[in-house]
Structure 1
Amino acid sequence: MGNTTFWLRLAAVAATGVGSAALVSPWDLGFLAWISFSPLLVALWSLEGKHAAWKGFGLGWLAGTVAHGLQLSWLSVVSPLGAGVLPAYLGLFWGVFGAFAATSGNPLHGRLQLHSNLVAAFSTAAVWASLEWLRGWLFTGFGWNGIGIGLHDNLIFSQPADLLGVPGLSLLLVFIQALLVLGIRRKNLSAAIPIIGTVLLAGAYGKFRIQQEESRPTTPLRALLVQNNIPQDAARYLWDPAEIHMAYEDATLEALEEAKAAETFPDWVIWPESALTGRILRTDDGGWGTWQENVDTLRNVREGGDFTLMFGAVELEATNDGDTLTPKPGGNTYNSLVAMSPADELQTFRKHHLVIFGETIPFVDSIPFLKKIYQQQAGVEYGGSFASGGSFEPLAATTAAGTEIGVIPSICFEDTVPRLTRRFLKDGPQVIVNITNDGWFKESPAAAQHFANAKFRAIELRRPMLRAANTGVTASVDTTGRAAVLTDSKGSHFTSGTLLARVPVPTRPGMSLYGMIGDWGIILMGVGGAALAFRSRRSKRGGAENTTVTL
């Protein structure tokens, strides 16, 4: 019997691990979000005895490691070590949940069942959701692919993300599955009532929010998004910088000519992260200059008409030596988003959230061995760290009609960090602009997973998004999460081309609950859920017998 139980629990762990992995690309089986967590709950709630916490930790860790190992297998393209270490680390958060669910959060063991199905399900779901938040915050965080991401293609049920973020969607899904497991284990058919009620309530909220967003007054914005699909190896070794620049020039000028003929000329043109190979020089007083290769490209595309140009470039702190700008000795280097008006006035946003072991290596000066690890995994020498930017002021750009629109800037995977993006929220029309380059991961599921996570920022904050990728997913997303994606004739987003996005920008955008309170909602939910579980556990040990509540 013991061996049978062991293998059944292991099968349940595997089912949850594989099912959770399948929520995102390349599988995209979003319907599994409603059931994939259930087998793990069954396994964890079957544990008892003095070693239940450790057994629960082990089962949870294994399920999480399987899930993230399958989801993040694309990391092996750049770091075989990372493809093994990161899933094992992320599995620790599942392990903590497993220890909780097998002990204080276990509603099925003990003589007494003082807490109801609803309280037990909420406690379980809230603790899980708070752990998803924690892994997206701790040590700068990696919050990709929570259970709620499985709803990324479900327009109606993705809308509640504007309440508590993506972890809030995970809370909803785990709550429903916990109720389902409790109802079946306790043979309590009445558990179906709160399940159906919760689903109907979430669906009604989703429809209401979609209708509300569609009824807002908007101002039109046209943006030309350019993707050249330059392989990362080619960008590093094979392509001459002049070829890269010419590719952007040719694609942009051709698209601008077509737009003129169709009378759909864009207000903005957006190129991706690190589009231009020349550096941008900025002085403390706002003066700027750039390398000659950039000057030629910018002059050439300006012949296409008047528009605000946004692009990614490396920015250097500079000093003004007479009429010449030179890099400041010991000055910082930034990964920046550059916005240049039709009058060549320039603004830059300096990336905040740097990629560890990609753009910065903590303690690298005191632990030189870290450079060797980087060189072994990346295949190139470590060239120094970028500095992190400090401003949370949106950039400003105008439309051809003269409407000023705030630009919420993000670079690379910053569009998967909601606590960062929400800090740019202001009253008035705003658009999230993300520039990225997922070429490091070649034609793997990384780009599609990145986009699935990113487009929730438009829903959470109720601001549309424009996204230009060198290779990856170039797209526009409205405030309900509807997306228009650049693809080739076969439907692949790994393509070269341009997308003329027509974006209705709310002139008086709403302020979502998540926009107002950020992550505090899910943090308080987690604290409250844990407190309920611990209180109920103490009541079990000291309360009267035969006191049972099942609703």
Structure 2
Amino acid sequence: MLTSGWRRLVLAAMAGAFGALAMPPFGLLPALAVSLTVAVWLIDGAATGRRGNLGAVLACAVIGWAWGFGYLTAGLWWLGSAFLVEAEEFLWALPLGVVGLPAVLALFYAFGFALARLVWSRGNGRLFALAFGLATCEWLRGHLFTGFPWNTLGMALGQNLWLMQGAAVIGLYGLTLLVIAIAAAPATLATADTTAGRLGPVALAAVALAALAAFGVARLPAGPDPRVAGVRLRLVQPNLNQDAKFRPENREDILDRYLALSDRAAAPDRSGIADVTHVIWPESAFPFLIQRDPRALARIAAAFPPGKQLITGAARAEEALPNERPRFFNAIFTIAAGPKLGDVYDKVHLVPFGEYLPAPLDAFLRALHIRQFVSIPGGFTAGTRAGQRILTVPGLPPVAATICYEAIFPGQIVPMAAPGAPPVVPGLILNLTNDAWFGDTPGPRQHFAQARLRAVEEGLPLVRDANTGISAVVDAHGRITASLPLGVEGVLDADLPARISGRTLYASLGDAPFGILLAASLLCAIAARRRGA
């Protein structure tokens, strides 16, 4: 079915690439329906001419790899922009990011297609097999080898305000399983033997989609969420080009820019810092170590009156013992007037090859005069899991802090409570990031969409400050209350929405509801296979 040999692989890659149009910023759900419908038919035809089930499973794995390679290449091509920031050093590695990473990650889809084929059946029950196989591979992609859940298939539903509300119950991976079953349903239109068999799954898929939307409408409050009293935020978006940002010779100009923006009058009746309670600067705001620069701290102290708080991203150095190399952390600092350094959060989930390398590989590349993107000897050190804690900021409810792509990991936003301690109850998610590496591409927009879904999952407002955008405040239901677009310099003054009352089911149970759905899909697929349906 659907040709054979290399033509089948090309078709699989094209179908996967077309499915990427369902991801942000495009959001074309029908594109995923076409893509997964073709995937079902390709698996149907994979056993043609093969002897034994093993040959069919291996054939499906190859098809799954091709489908995943097309999907990931079309969805992640913008990663190549990072290699052009300092092209004289990194252009050689561009194919590794644009083609190499999708080729490796596509192995997860190879496994997913093969897993689906193991419980495949001739009839409509094979939709459950595909949902089980692909949802499993997406969960594994988000967890194994540090995890990379970027553009997980559930984001096809997770970017629509009504449809994303389901994440409060079943999370991103639950939405992933649902969207696979829904989007693959049209495959039955051409393969079922009866009218009921052809139309029934499509009708059920439409009902499921409508029910999910109806749940979202019912969950959304009629009016805006309440605001936290006594809090007025100012998000600073400096829009600094990445190629200039981390040059030490620009330190004074960069600090001047931050201070000027922080005190900019956003309206004729406003005077800047005096009219807000908290000023927020993005990830890695300085090309120097702010904790070791008394002059910079003094300038900040002079600009911030008593009672005002600065929250900023910055590199942090830890004092080293003699004959040891100092450790550096990608951190969030809180700074009060004085200047007084307050609480600090160290990034836990570092970007492989961007923020750190295994020590032997780092030494090998440096011997070849090749460095990683972050020019720090040995790269950053990850904060410990115990260190992924609530950030304490005077005047704010407890803060669940995240830096950069930490916000894309479902279930890892709120730190785990210590044994015997009461559950951690934050009042907001803070995400500081720098997406300047990726320019005006889908990348920053995808990043924001994924961070926004965390607000719905956890029932917490999101405050996101990005160097080049998108900076925004999002309420606990995923509604954007204030934002600055990508690629502009500016400030955003906003109130802080309150968290929802109580906890969402997902915040309480994590991926347990997804696990139940996954097990149910497997049982339905096995039952259909035994019936031969």
With structure 2 as the length reference, what TM-score do the two structures score? 0.85
Cα offset, 1:259, TM superposition: 6.8
Distance 2:212 2:297 in 1: 52
Matched, 1:310 2:311: yes
| Cα displacement string for residues 258-284 of structure 1 (whole angstroms, at most 9, x for unaligned residues) | 674599922211000111334255xxx
Cα offset, 1:146, TM superposition: 1.3
| Cα displacement string for residues 489-541 of structure 1 (whole angstroms, at most 9, x for unaligned residues) | xxx511111111223213x633122211223443454455445545654x35x
Distance 2:322 2:509 in 1: 41
Cα offset, 1:447, TM superposition: 1.2
Match of 2:236 in 1: 226
One-letter amino acid matched to 2:463: L
Matched, 1:443 2:440: yes
Matched, 1:396 2:405: no
Further displaced range: 177-186 or 347-356: 177-186
Cα offset, 1:44, TM superposition: 1.3
CA contact (8 A) 1:223 1:270 kept: yes
One-letter amino acid matched to 1:65: F
| Cα displacement string for residues 311-366 of structure 1 (whole angstroms, at most 9, x for unaligned residues) | 011112249xxxxxx9996443211111234573500001100111121112x237
Distance 2:382 2:130 in 1: 37
1:16-415 correspondence runs (5 A)? 16-25=15-24, 27-48=26-47, 49=50, 50=52, 51-77=55-81, 78=83, 79-80=93-94, 81-101=96-116, 103-108=117-122, 117=124, 120-182=126-188, 184-186=190-192, 187=194, 188=197, 189-211=199-221, 218-220=227-229, 221-237=231-247, 240-255=250-265, 260=270, 265-281=275-291, 290-303=292-305, 306-318=307-319, 330-341=325-336, 344=340, 346-362=342-358, 364-365=359-360, 368-371=363-366, 375=370, 378=373, 383-390=377-384, 391-399=387-395, 404-415=396-407
For residues 301 and 107 of structure 1, do their structure 2 counterparts lie closer, same or farther at Cα, with a shift above 3 Å needed? farther
For residues 268 and 137 of structure 1, do their structure 2 counterparts lie closer, same or farther at Cα, with a shift above 3 Å needed? same
One-letter amino acid matched to 1:292: P
For residues 258 and 361 of structure 1, do their structure 2 counterparts lie closer, same or farther at Cα, with a shift above 3 Å needed? farther
For residues 216 and 95 of structure 1, do their structure 2 counterparts lie closer, same or farther at Cα, with a shift above 3 Å needed? same
For residues 340 and 237 of structure 1, do their structure 2 counterparts lie closer, same or farther at Cα, with a shift above 3 Å needed? closer
Further displaced range: 262-271 or 157-166: 262-271
CA contact (8 A) 2:265 2:271 kept: no
Cα offset, 1:168, TM superposition: 1.5
Cα offset, 1:166, TM superposition: 1.5
Matched, 1:505 2:498: yes
Match of 1:481 in 2: 478
**Corresponding residue SS for 2:165:** coil
CA contact (8 A) 1:435 1:469 kept: yes
| Cα displacement string for residues 9-29 of structure 1 (whole angstroms, at most 9, x for unaligned residues) | 456524431222222356443
**Corresponding residue SS for 2:161:** coil
One-letter amino acid matched to 2:63: L
**Corresponding residue SS for 2:477:** coil
Match of 1:465 in 2: 462
Whose RCO is larger (CA < 8 A, sep 6+)? Answer: 1
CA contact (8 A) 1:374 1:382 kept: no
Cα offset, 1:88, TM superposition: 0.4
For residues 152 and 484 of structure 1, do their structure 2 counterparts lie closer, same or farther at Cα, with a shift above 3 Å needed? farther
Matched, 1:434 2:436: no
Match of 1:493 in 2: 486
CA contact (8 A) 2:8 2:42 kept: yes
For residues 318 and 259 of structure 1, do their structure 2 counterparts lie closer, same or farther at Cα, with a shift above 3 Å needed? farther
CA contact (8 A) 1:406 1:431 kept: yes
Distance 1:367 1:335 in 2: 18
For residues 396 and 447 of structure 1, do their structure 2 counterparts lie closer, same or farther at Cα, with a shift above 3 Å needed? same
Would you say how many aligned residue pairs link Structure 1 and Structure 2? 504
Distance 1:361 1:476 in 2: 33
**Corresponding residue SS for 2:235:** strand
Distance 1:374 1:161 in 2: 46
Unaligned runs of 5+ in 1: 282-289, 320-325, 541-546
Cα offset, 1:127, TM superposition: 2.8
One-letter amino acid matched to 2:487: F
**Corresponding residue SS for 2:429:** strand
Cα offset, 1:306, TM superposition: 3.2
For residues 215 and 472 of structure 1, do their structure 2 counterparts lie closer, same or farther at Cα, with a shift above 3 Å needed? closer
One-letter amino acid matched to 2:514: I
**Corresponding residue SS for 1:107:** coil
Cα offset, 1:392, TM superposition: 3.1
For residues 16 and 180 of structure 1, do their structure 2 counterparts lie closer, same or farther at Cα, with a shift above 3 Å needed? same
**Corresponding residue SS for 1:423:** coil
Distance 1:332 1:416 in 2: 26
One-letter amino acid matched to 2:207: G
CA contact (8 A) 1:317 1:327 kept: no
One-letter amino acid matched to 1:313: A
| Cα displacement string for residues 169-225 of structure 1 (whole angstroms, at most 9, x for unaligned residues) | 12111111333323542142333442233123212211122139x686552442110
One-letter amino acid matched to 1:226: V
Cα offset, 1:105, TM superposition: 3.0
Cα offset, 1:409, TM superposition: 0.2
Distance 2:76 2:278 in 1: 34
Distance 2:441 2:369 in 1: 21
Unaligned runs of 5+ in 2: 84-92, 418-422
Cα offset, 1:377, TM superposition: 6.7
| Cα displacement string for residues 128-161 of structure 1 (whole angstroms, at most 9, x for unaligned residues) | 1221111011100111001221234411011111
**Corresponding residue SS for 2:221:** helix
One-letter amino acid matched to 1:17: G
Distance 1:262 1:377 in 2: 38
Distance 1:353 1:130 in 2: 22
Alignment RMSD (CA, Å):
3.2
User: Sequence identity of aligned pairs in percent?
Assistant: 29
For residues 525 and 372 of structure 1, do their structure 2 counterparts lie closer, same or farther at Cα, with a shift above 3 Å needed? farther
Distance 2:466 2:249 in 1: 18
Cα offset, 1:64, TM superposition: 0.9
